[in-house]
Chain A
Amino acid sequence: GENVEQHPSTLSVQEGDSAVIKCTYSDSASNYFPWYKQELGKRPQLIIDIRSNVGEKKDQRIAVTLNKTAKHFSLHITETQPEDSAVYFCAASINDKIIFGKGTRLHILP
């Protein structure tokens, strides 16, 4: 069935270090992969996305990579800062909807 697996569920990194969150998806027809950031009590915000015709996309300290053969995609945050602390969700498109992973709680340690 339609499924997006996300790991790890919790991640703690020292401020200034890098953080990597990984996701896998099940439907080979998926062609759009967004990442959302949700701060406590707030709505999820789209931070970056990638489509199946590219393998990597970067926006300042954030980058996403996609391996369609393996059905893997990842979020990379470099030079982490305290404001990066939040829950991050990956997702994959399935027809007219998007299926979300269960989320990764990222803690940035001082």
Chain B
Amino acid sequence: SQTIHQWPATLVQPVGSPLSLECTVEGTSNPNLYWYRQAAGRGLQLLFYSVGIGQISSEVPQNLSASRPQDRQFILSSKKLLLSDSGFYLCAWSVLVGTYEQYFGPGTRLTVT
């Protein structure tokens, strides 16, 4: 069966510091991968998605970036965090062809101080 991992689970970082969040999927090949952000008490904002290695689509212009160095690895990065980057970051995956069901990872709760 498929499993999705995210780490770290929680993170407290000062403004201006860099960020690296990692997501990996097991048990499937060539998944679609997604990064979402959820501010406290708010909805799910799609940040990036990827349909293959090295292919990244950005939904919201901001100080974040994403990379997909391997088939089942998706990384979210920032060179300098802003206070507004605080939130719950969720990675999700879906099968590339024939179905759109998305399954979420456990999330990373980021607090920028």
Give the residues in chain A near B51, CB-CB below 8 Å. Answer: 96
Given the contacts A43-B90, A43-B107, A99 and B100 also touching, CB distance less than 8 Å = no
- A97 adjacent to B49 (CB under 8 Å): yes
Give the residues in chain B near A93, CB-CB below 8 Å. Answer: 100
Given the contacts A96-B32, A97-B34, A97-B49, A49 and B101 also touching, CB distance less than 8 Å = yes
B19 at the interface (CB under 8 A from A): no
Shortest CB distance A64–B (Å): 14
B44 at the interface (CB under 8 A from A): yes
- A102 adjacent to B100 (CB under 8 Å): no
Chain A, interface size: which category?
10 to 19
- B102 adjacent to A34 (CB under 8 Å): yes
**Which of A43, A45, A98, A101 is within 8 Å of B43, CB to CB?**
A101
Q: Quick one: closest A residue to B34, CB to CB?
A: A97
- A98 adjacent to B90 (CB under 8 Å): no
A8 at the interface (CB under 8 A from B): no
**Which of B57, B100, B106, B107 is within 8 Å of A98, CB to CB?**
B100
Instruction: Compute how far the CA of A98 lies from the CA of B36 in the bound complex, rounded to whole angstroms.
Output: 11
The chain A residues found within 8 Å of chain B, CB to CB, are 32, 34, 43-46, 49, 89, 93, 96-103
The chain B residues found within 8 Å of chain A, CB to CB, are 32, 34, 42-44, 46, 49, 51, 57, 59, 90, 100-107
